[in-house]
A and B are shown apart, each in its own frame.
Chain A
Amino acid sequence: MAISVPLHQPTYSFFSNPQEQWKWCAKPSYSFSNNSQNNIRPIKASVETPPFPLFQNPKLEETPADGLEPADPDFYKIGYVRSMRAYGVEFKEGPDGFGVFASKDIEPRRRARLVMQIPLELMLTIRQKLPWMFFPDIVPLGHPIFDIINSTDPETDWDLRLACLLLYAFDQDDNFWQLYGDFLPNADECTSLLLATEEDLMELQDPNLASTMREQQKRAREFWEKNWHSGVPLKIKRLAHDPERFIWAVSIAQSRCINMQVRIGALVQDANMLIPYADMLNHSFQPNCFFHWRFKDRMLEVMVNAGQHVRRGEEMTVNYMHGQMNDMLMQRYGFSSPVNPWNVIQFSGDARIHLDSFLSVFNISGLPEEYYHNSKISSDEESFIDGAVIAAARTLPTWSDGDVPLVPSIERKAVKELQEECRQMLAEFPTTSKQDQKMLDSMKEPRRTLEAAIKYRLHRKLFIDKVTKALDIYQDRILF
């Protein structure tokens, strides 16, 4: 799985100014628009005047500064040949992995626009419950892999099943995943914590998460040992010669699995699906796109939200998991985000702040499930308010009692107490956020998992930091 975390500004900020983030306005294609009427293939100008004067030396190769290049053309071609389609998007690869980017502007329309469609034949799908149904049905009847899959627990072992299926698909001739597997992150690139070493888990600075991950690793290894012992037939043995391969498969299965309720035939089922091109979409808390299962011809459609204005070069994102903290994201997908609006800090004590005034200070509106920053109210550009502030609004202990006004002194006291708690929490960490940042910058070629772990704790500290700052601002702007 690829997270594209751009270098400085988080993608997940509410005011995403693409001008700031993408320093290089993707493609040099203003010559397109001139030639589009003539349908002439535009001549690639070797020298383009860059839109920003930052680049004094125009590059001969069209490489964006943030390292995004178009993916291997075979990537789309192998899908195209098998009737997968991508409309108006292209796959780009950056230092952090693959991403899906819009290749043209999409107007805000009243209906969701189709961006990608992937037929069922390319996927690896297992029904979550018994009886297991595979779509497409690649597991032959007597194959021992089926027995392995059968031996898993229907409730909990969906990732192991998917991993087995994935490995089997790699082994099966003329299976699409043999070709597509070349574009999956390999064991070095995969950031999932299943592949993390002890040292990385230590770096998490989160004992709960670390223990959870250890359990997961143990579980996967045990499964491998149970089913790939030396006595198994070669059919099975060659699927995963070593446990690392199996654990990698499990990590891929966990991080790239899409759980959807699909209707195939007459049956509506919960399915765990590994879907080739749709798993290259990255995560965002304000996603562009969503998945839709088209029952008629059994295609997964990736559609842009209705009314969503997408600019050229903007990243297409999906919400992976809704309403989970960073540690869940980390556990399952191997990434974390500083602006997760569902982050939770456990505050102890009785200090409470007034919810309504906190929300109004930051112009956050909506129901508690769906807080959002209301940009209509706030006139000035506030880049401070992002998901972290929303998360703060959720996790800070608050009180709200109809029209009862707040008592300023109590409020201030409460704010001070909460800030004190945050400071304490920050102090409990062995390193500060600055140190973490420095460590990240200084590491030359960090292991992915190490990098992810450090980022995880960095994001946690940043979050607490942000909460503190938010409380400061709240204190300033509170109306009396």
Chain B
Amino acid sequence: MATLSAAWMYQDRGLGPVDYSDDFITRKPNFNRFQTSFLGSFPTGILQTRFRLNNLLRRTSSVRRIKCEKNDELPEYVSVERPPYYSYFDSASGQLEPASGARASIPGEEYWPEGTASRVRAARAPEPTGESTGSPSYGKHPGSRRKKYKASVRARSSEVSVESSASLEPEVSEDATEDPKESSSEYVVYETESKAEGETEYELDKKLGRPHPFIDPKVRKPIEEPLSSEELWWNWRKSDKEQWSRWQRRRPDVETVFLKAMAETGQIKLYGEHPTLTETALYRARRHLFKEERLKAEQERLERIGPIAYYSEWVKAWKRDTSREAIQKHYEETGEDENTQLIEMFCHQTDREYRIMMGNDIRIKRDPLAMRLQEDQIKQIWGGDPVYPTVNYIQDPDEVIDYRGPDFHEPTPNMLDYLKEHGKVISREELEEILAKEKTEEVEMTDMDEAMAQAVDIGEKDEEGEDSDLDADADDEEEKITRNWSVLKSTPQLQKSKAKPKKDGPMSLEEAVDDSENLTDFLLDFDEED
């Protein structure tokens, strides 16, 4: 109630000289309603009152703030339009719609749960109007309100006395008001004759329980253009993300791929880009029928024009007249009947023509569509090379290709070359060379202790030894590295560790050239070289 009083005070402040009398009048019942709704303590009532209060507040404030440009006096009361409207006629559907939060439409009676119809009908039944003259006796005098009892109290007459005529009027009006309101109930018929005329045969069927279509054919509206798959709300929309796996792709089927190809070449028209089951079935049926039709036509043609004329299509060399009359004439002339002439004709046929006619040669394509199918489409249906399948395997473009070499399929490779390649075996000359280098060092090495020899020393002697060793190693390594020179080149660390201990002093050019494998040795980063 505090809010109520605040509202009223607010209004009082704002009124001033302006006469809001009619506003008061209209609001007074509001106020009463507020009170009753508060007392009744319905939550909806409170909400409604608050809503109305807000309306009032807004209204009053808006009224106060009306200012004209010309800065006139406040004019006489400008009737501001009543704020809407708890419901309006929706412009889209033409139906009554609530202003706040339209709900979904209420389904019709067919969809109501059981018992709802009777409850609704009970709620819709009109209230009895009419005032009674008697009053209840609460069990004291049973039968006291019956008419005859009353009438017998005052001398009964054959016609109803005038006193009860007053009670008749409202009663009759009660019946009167009942009837028009109940005219909306389903089984009310005032004049059976007129309704019978206006009844279509559909309604008659429906009423009498004879078989009838679901919808009155006169009332029925034709089915509109179906919505596209984007518009259909139950359509599975494709997700924006790409497929995260190729297993999610569409599985190819002979029919669908064929139909897709046919649609691409323009032979048929599909509804979307992929043929649906219905379309697939439809076109399959059509193809079958066309084939049958064609076969029938061919047979009929054969019967019509005769075998010689028919098969002369595949015998290019036969130039003679093949009509029935010509054959007949020939027969009469030479006595060769049809079969003999046919054999004669076939003698002029070439092999290729024969194979085309019989259609047994797989090298000769027979299906015109299969001729026109693209490679990937063919691969989708029949698969690619079974040995080297390329379509069905997923290929990673970043993958390092596992190339085994041209003689990969050799069952046993050449072991010596293999070992040589991998540096497991060196040739005799190389070995001798290495051994020759190693001899000098061994003499020097015997001077020292074994323990000392084991120690890693960066002495001169050791350096030379290391140099020769490193040389030999470097040679081998260089040999090895030359195979994978890309690896060598891309990892500069390797190069550096080899290159640095080699320098005893400034090398001569020839030595450098001898040392280097090729000119690329000199392509090192010159920064790092001091």
Q: Which residues of A contact B (CB under 8 A)?
A: 27, 29, 32-33, 35-36, 39-42, 44, 59-63, 67, 69-77, 80, 83, 85-88, 90, 93, 95, 97-98, 103-107, 109-110, 113-114, 117, 169-171, 175, 177-179, 181-189, 248, 294, 296-297, 445
Q: Is the CB of B190 within 8 A of A106?
A: no
Q: Is the CB of B128 within 8 A of A76?
A: yes
| Distance (whole angstroms) from the CB of A28 to the closest CB of chain B | 9
- A117 to chain B: which residues have CB within 8 Å? 118, 122
Name the CB-closest residue of A to B192: A105
B176 within 8 A of A: yes
B177 within 8 A of A: yes
- A185 to chain B: which residues have CB within 8 Å? 143, 146
Q: Is the CB of A74 within 8 A of B175?
A: no
Asked whether A182 and B143 contact (CB < 8 A) given A32-B176, A73-B170, the answer is yes
| Distance (whole angstroms) from the CB of A89 to the closest CB of chain B | 10
| Distance (whole angstroms) from the CB of B187 to the closest CB of chain A | 6
Q: Is the CB of A93 within 8 A of B190?
A: no
Name the CB-closest residue of B to A72: B132
Candidates A29, A189, A294; contact of B149 at CB < 8 Å: A189
Q: Is the CB of B178 within 8 A of A184?
A: no
Asked whether A181 and B171 contact (CB < 8 A) given A33-B191, A88-B187, the answer is no
Asked whether A88 and B147 contact (CB < 8 A) given A33-B191, A44-B172, the answer is no
The CA-CA distance from A188 to B144 in the complex, in Å, is: 11
Residues B316-338 near A (CB distance < 8 A): none
B185 within 8 A of A: yes
Q: Is the CB of A87 within 8 A of B143?
A: no
- A27 to chain B: which residues have CB within 8 Å? 172, 175
The CA-CA distance from A67 to B125 in the complex, in Å, is: 28
Q: Which residues of B contact A (CB under 8 A)?
A: 114-115, 118-119, 121-122, 125, 127-134, 136-139, 141-149, 152, 156, 158-160, 162, 164-165, 167-180, 182-183, 185, 187-192, 194, 207, 209
The CA-CA distance from A284 to B129 in the complex, in Å, is: 31
The CA-CA distance from A44 to B142 in the complex, in Å, is: 34
The CA-CA distance from A107 to B143 in the complex, in Å, is: 35
Name the CB-closest residue of B to A309: B192
Given contacts A44-B176, A181-B139, 12 further A-B contacts (CB under 8 A): A29-B176, A29-B179, A44-B169, A72-B133, A85-B122, A93-B147, A95-B148, A98-B146, A104-B179, A106-B187, A181-B142, A294-B118
Q: Is the CB of A74 within 8 A of B145?
A: yes
Name the CB-closest residue of A to B114: A296
Q: Is the CB of B143 within 8 A of A186?
A: yes
Q: Is the CB of A73 within 8 A of B179?
A: no
| Distance (whole angstroms) from the CB of A120 to the closest CB of chain B | 14
| Distance (whole angstroms) from the CB of B182 to the closest CB of chain A | 7
- B176 to chain A: which residues have CB within 8 Å? 29, 32, 41-42, 44
Q: Is the CB of B139 within 8 A of A32?
A: no
Candidates B127, B160, B162, B183; contact of A69 at CB < 8 Å: B160
Name the CB-closest residue of A to B169: A44
Q: Is the CB of A186 within 8 A of B130?
A: no
- B190 to chain A: which residues have CB within 8 Å? 32-33, 36, 104-105
Q: Is the CB of B179 within 8 A of A182?
A: no
- A60 to chain B: which residues have CB within 8 Å? 165
- A184 to chain B: which residues have CB within 8 Å? 142-143
Q: Is the CB of B145 within 8 A of A72?
A: yes
- B133 to chain A: which residues have CB within 8 Å? 72
Central interface residue in B119, B132, B167, B177, by most chain A CB within 10 Å: B132
Q: Is the CB of A103 within 8 A of B141?
A: no
Q: Is the CB of A74 within 8 A of B180?
A: no
- A178 to chain B: which residues have CB within 8 Å? 136, 138-139
The CA-CA distance from A39 to B176 in the complex, in Å, is: 11
| 19 cross-chain CB contacts under 8 A | A36-B180, A44-B172, A69-B164, A69-B171, A72-B171, A73-B128, A85-B125, A87-B185, A104-B189, A105-B192, A107-B192, A107-B207, A117-B118, A177-B139, A179-B136, A184-B142, A186-B149, A189-B143, A296-B115
The CA-CA distance from A85 to B158 in the complex, in Å, is: 32
Q: Is the CB of A183 within 8 A of B177?
A: no
- What are the 10 tightest A-B residue pairs by CB atom distance, in nearest-first order? A186-B143, A73-B130, A170-B139, A74-B132, A33-B190, A182-B145, A181-B142, A178-B139, A178-B138, A70-B171
| Distance (whole angstroms) from the CB of B410 to the closest CB of chain A | 89
The CA-CA distance from A70 to B170 in the complex, in Å, is: 10
- B146 to chain A: which residues have CB within 8 Å? 93, 97-98, 182-183, 185-186, 189
| Distance (whole angstroms) from the CB of A236 to the closest CB of chain B | 15
- A175 to chain B: which residues have CB within 8 Å? 139
Q: Is the CB of B180 within 8 A of A183?
A: no
| Distance (whole angstroms) from the CB of B112 to the closest CB of chain A | 14
Name the CB-closest residue of B to A182: B145
Q: Is the CB of A69 within 8 A of B179?
A: no
Q: Is the CB of A41 within 8 A of B139?
A: no
The CA-CA distance from A63 to B152 in the complex, in Å, is: 17
- A105 to chain B: which residues have CB within 8 Å? 189-190, 192
Name the CB-closest residue of B to A110: B209
- A110 to chain B: which residues have CB within 8 Å? 209
The CA-CA distance from A416 to B159 in the complex, in Å, is: 48
- A83 to chain B: which residues have CB within 8 Å? 122
Candidates A75, A76, A88, A90; contact of B188 at CB < 8 Å: A88
| Distance (whole angstroms) from the CB of A112 to the closest CB of chain B | 11
Name the CB-closest residue of B to A111: B209
Q: Is the CB of A73 within 8 A of B144?
A: no
- B142 to chain A: which residues have CB within 8 Å? 170, 181-182, 184, 186, 248
Candidates A44, A75, A107, A186; contact of B189 at CB < 8 Å: A107
Q: Is the CB of B160 within 8 A of A63?
A: yes
- A44 to chain B: which residues have CB within 8 Å? 169, 172-173, 176
Q: Is the CB of B207 within 8 A of A70?
A: no
Q: Is the CB of B172 within 8 A of A70?
A: yes
| Distance (whole angstroms) from the CB of B197 to the closest CB of chain A | 14
Q: Is the CB of A73 within 8 A of B129?
A: yes
- B118 to chain A: which residues have CB within 8 Å? 114, 117, 294, 297
Q: Is the CB of B128 within 8 A of A77?
A: yes
Candidates A63, A186, A297; contact of B144 at CB < 8 Å: A186
Name the CB-closest residue of B to A84: B122
The CA-CA distance from A60 to B130 in the complex, in Å, is: 19
Q: Is the CB of B115 within 8 A of A69?
A: no
| Distance (whole angstroms) from the CB of B330 to the closest CB of chain A | 81
| Distance (whole angstroms) from the CB of A154 to the closest CB of chain B | 27
| Distance (whole angstroms) from the CB of B211 to the closest CB of chain A | 13
Asked whether A189 and B148 contact (CB < 8 A) given A88-B185, A110-B209, the answer is yes
Q: Is the CB of A103 within 8 A of B179?
A: yes
The CA-CA distance from A443 to B464 in the complex, in Å, is: 163
- A109 to chain B: which residues have CB within 8 Å? 187, 207
- B141 to chain A: which residues have CB within 8 Å? 182, 186
- B131 to chain A: which residues have CB within 8 Å? 73
| Distance (whole angstroms) from the CB of B164 to the closest CB of chain A | 8
Name the CB-closest residue of B to A296: B115
- B162 to chain A: which residues have CB within 8 Å? 61
- B188 to chain A: which residues have CB within 8 Å? 88, 104
| Distance (whole angstroms) from the CB of A159 to the closest CB of chain B | 17
Name the CB-closest residue of A to B132: A74
Name the CB-closest residue of B to A170: B139
- A95 to chain B: which residues have CB within 8 Å? 148
Candidates A74, A85, A113, A189; contact of B134 at CB < 8 Å: A74
Q: Is the CB of B175 within 8 A of A182?
A: no
- B132 to chain A: which residues have CB within 8 Å? 72-74, 77
- B185 to chain A: which residues have CB within 8 Å? 87-88
Q: Is the CB of B125 within 8 A of A69?
A: no
